[in-house]
A and B are shown apart, each in its own frame.
Chain A
Amino acid sequence: MSFKQRFDNWIFNSFTVSAEGLALFRIFASLFILLFLIPGMGMGHFGFLASLPNHFYAPSPGPLRIFDGFPPLVFFQLVHTILVISLFAMLAGYFTKWASLITGISILILQGFIYSIGKVNHEIVVPLVPIIMAFSNWGYAYSVDSMRKKKTRNPESWPLTLLALFVAFMMFTAGFPKILGGWLDPSTQAAQGHLFNQFFIRERQALLAGWAVGFNNVVFWEMLDWLTILFEIGFIAALFKASWFRLFVGFAVVFHFSTMMTLNIAFLPNFLAYAVFLNWENVYSAIRSQYVRFSGITGIKSGKRAVILFSGLVLLIFLPLKWLSSRNITLSQTDLMFHEFVLVTAAFVFVLFIGVKKW
């Protein structure tokens, strides 16, 4: 096989997608962003930014430097409204490609201004997922577009490979500075140092943080430093095979669960990107076969109803979670939100379940 053929094979055949699986992920991603990943902490946060004197406008080098200060609240309200409308359109699969692109761009605009107080949070995967997935034609099935008999293109799997490339590279950028910073030096236990920083300075003291602070085993902490770097750098190697990449996504879920338990940091935005690599076709088949088993209805109708059932189930979980979180139900001694704790724990349990099943 020539290099070109192998390159093509990697781009176009690494991952397999189906119209139904992509539809399910589109619905999941739309609801996940809508309820948990819209940038900022609501209109109060945008109001605060809009009220800040221009002196505190400190955008990073980049396009936001063309502005002199934060925009007025009405601008934030307008972009937020556009984002919510485009998310609903993405959910319904109405002009799906455009809705996905507008969703990504609106998130980028909001993130850009939020980070212009002088600190960038690394949440670029949130806009990246809808922008890249727009080209997968994830609105092909179970969408308004498909009902309008609008000519839509077939589902494409290469966007998943492209997203895998971005995630793997970004993971590498998390691991590489640690090597330069001295994480591999046996005389430093860097993960333990970060734990102390989060525990004593940022007062993130919930879950297992207190236990971890008292756990003083040099070998354990040093091993954690090495494993962290191996895992983050290793993502690049995992790009060569879809099954390896999925394994590393599983490691990532375990990694984030452990950092949540000890450092009280959830990294929830990353889970949107990890969810892309779940085998959504299997999820669709499982829900459909259960529906057929209980209702006895088969054919096209069962597929449609399976998707409605899935959407209902997601809403049934997400809505109360969102409501509970908005009631300021946080764990004590931390800024970790209730929904972050539940969702990351659920992802961890799910990965464990798949791992045990595959064993």
Chain B
Amino acid sequence: MNRKAVRTLFICALIYLPLQYAIVGIVGYYDAEPWPAFVFPGFKSVHVYDDGFEIKRTVIDVETLHRQRSLDMSPQEFFPEIPLSQIPGFIRTHFSGDEAVQQISDEGRAWLHIRATEIAGFSPNTMHIIELTEYYRQTEEGTVLDMALETGRISLQF
């Protein structure tokens, strides 16, 4: 590349980088974070409430009719093939909100049912995606769980 072409490339990069960042912000707000994009993770959340810390946890619960048999597990236990760094995003995309869960296709439900049966060792009728909010407080003895509240529950019938 000649000098003029390289200079033009740098000017384009200097204009493009902030512009794409603005687009990432706007599209991310209305839809999802675009890809590919030249951004690093922001880790914007502060997880703070009053004088403690507030952390959200998702639990997957599968059960048979009348809860004769049931099993609670973490999303990483239910989806062990997915890297841990992708689990929260995967859950947020596909299992947050009743509407999103009820829209899961028949093929998707069948796939989840097979997976739940394999992991639980019994054929469940229902799968619950439970969101818990845990509140931690710091004491002289160390960090203690103050309380855990169920802040959301979405059920999927097989």
The listed residue (A55, A170, A178, A197) touching B107 by CB distance below 8 A is A55
Could you mark each residue 300-336 of chain A with 1 if its beta carbon is under 8 Å from any beta carbon of chain B, else 0?
Answer: 0000000000000000000000000000000000010
The residue that B40 contacts in the complex, of A122, A183, A201, A214, with Cβ under 8 A, is A122
The yes or no answer to A345 lying at the interface (CB within 8 A) is no
Residues B1-45 near A (CB distance < 8 A): 1, 3, 6-7, 9-10, 13-14, 17-18, 21, 24, 27, 31-45
Of A61, A121, A202, the residue contacting B27 (CB under 8 A) is: A61
Give Cα A111–Cα B37 distance, bound, in whole angstroms. Answer: 12
**Would you call B38 and A124 a contact (CB within 8 A)?**
yes
Given contacts A119-B93, A120-B89, A335-B84, contact A177 B35 (CB under 8 A): no
**A52 contacts which of B7, B42, B111 (Cβ < 8 Å)?**
B111
Residue pair A62, B36 in contact (C-beta under 8 Å): yes
| Interfacial residues of chain A within 282-305, with CB under 8 A of chain B in the complex | none
Known contacts A118-B86, A176-B42, then 7 further A-B pairs from the complex at CB < 8 Å, ordered by chain A residue: A7-B10, A119-B87, A119-B92, A170-B40, A185-B46, A190-B45, A200-B136
Which of A170, A181, A200 is the one whose CB lies under 8 Å from B55? A200
The reply to whether the CB of A75 lies closer than 8 angstroms to some CB of chain B is no
Minimum CB distance partner of B83 in chain A: A41
Give a binary string over A37-52; 1 marks a CB under 8 Å from any B CB, 0 the rest: 0000100110010001
**In the bound complex, do residue A188 and residue B36 qualify as a contact, i.e. CB atoms below 8 Å apart?**
no
Cα A217 to Cα B34 in complex, Å, equals: 38
Beta-carbon contact of A58 and B94 below 8 Å: yes
Question: Closest residue of chain B to A171, judged by CB?
Answer: B40
Collect the chain B residues with CB atoms within 8 Å of residue A165's CB.
10, 13-14, 17
Q: How far is the CB of B24 from chain A (nearest CB, A)?
A: 8
Binary contact track B125-146/A, C-beta < 8 Å → 1, others 0: 0000000001010100011000
B56 located at the interface, meaning its Cβ lies under 8 Å from any Cβ of chain A in the complex: yes
| Residue pair A193, B48 in contact (C-beta under 8 Å) | yes
Kindly state whether residue B105 has any CB partner on chain A within 8 Å. yes
Chain B contact residues, CB within 8 Å of chain A? 1, 3, 6-7, 9-10, 13-14, 17-18, 21, 24, 27, 31-48, 53, 55-57, 81-90, 92-94, 104-105, 107-108, 110-111, 134, 136, 138, 142-143
Contacting B at CB under 8 A, from A163-206, are 165-166, 169-171, 173-174, 176-178, 180-183, 185, 187-190, 192-194, 196-197, 200-202
Q: Which chain B positions have C-beta within 8 A of A121?
A: 83, 85-86
B36, B40, B105: residue with the most chain A Cβ atoms closer than 10 Å: B40
Cross-chain contact A58 with B46 (CB below 8 angstroms) = no
Q: Which of A17-60 contact B (CB under 8 A)?
A: 41, 44-45, 48, 52-56, 58-60
Contact of B94 among A118, A171, A192, A194 (CB under 8 A): A118
> Given the complex, which residues of B lie within 8 Å of A135, measured CB to CB?
1
Asked if A216 is an interface residue, CB under 8 A from chain B, the answer is: yes
Check A60 against B32 for contact (C-beta < 8 Å).
yes
B residues within 8 A CB of A122? 39-41
Could you tell me the distance in whole angstroms from the C-beta of B9 to the nearest C-beta in chain A? 7
Nearest A residue to B93, CB-CB: A118
Of all chain B residues, which has the CB nearest A174? B40
Instruction: Known contacts A52-B111, A55-B105, A122-B41; decide if A64 and B3 are in contact (CB<8 Å).
Output: no
B interface majority secondary structure: mixed
* B51: min CB distance to chain A, Å: 9
Is A231 at the interface (CB under 8 A from chain B)? no
Q: How far is the CA of A346 from the CA of B105 in the complex (A)?
A: 48
**Are A194 and B38 in contact (CB-based, < 8 A)?**
no
C-alpha gap A58/B143 in the complex (Å): 37
Name the residue in B9, B35, B92, B94 with the highest tally of chain A Cβ atoms < 10 Å from its Cβ: B35
Q: Which residues of A contact B46 (CB under 8 A)?
A: 181-183, 185, 188, 190, 193
Query: 9 shortest A-B CB distances, which residue pairs?
Result: A119-B89, A118-B93, A193-B47, A177-B42, A181-B44, A55-B108, A174-B40, A60-B35, A48-B81
Q: What CA separation (Å) do A200 and B84 show in the bound complex?
A: 14
On whether the beta carbons of A118 and B90 are closer than 8 Å, the reply is yes
CA distance A193 to B88 in the complex (A): 16
- Kindly provide the distance from the CB of A125 to the nearest chain B CB, expressed in whole angstroms: 9
Q: With CB as the reference atom, state the residue of chain A lying closest to B139.
A: A216
Residue among B7, B87, B134 making CB contact with A8, cutoff 8 Å: B7
**Which of B1, B13, B34, B83 lies in contact with A60, CB distance below 8 A?**
B34
CB contact between A201 and one of B9, B42, B56 (< 8 Å): that residue: B56
Query: Does the CB pair B47–A53 fall under 8 Å?
Result: no
A56 touching B55 in the complex, CB below 8 Å, given contacts A8-B7, A165-B17, A188-B46:
no
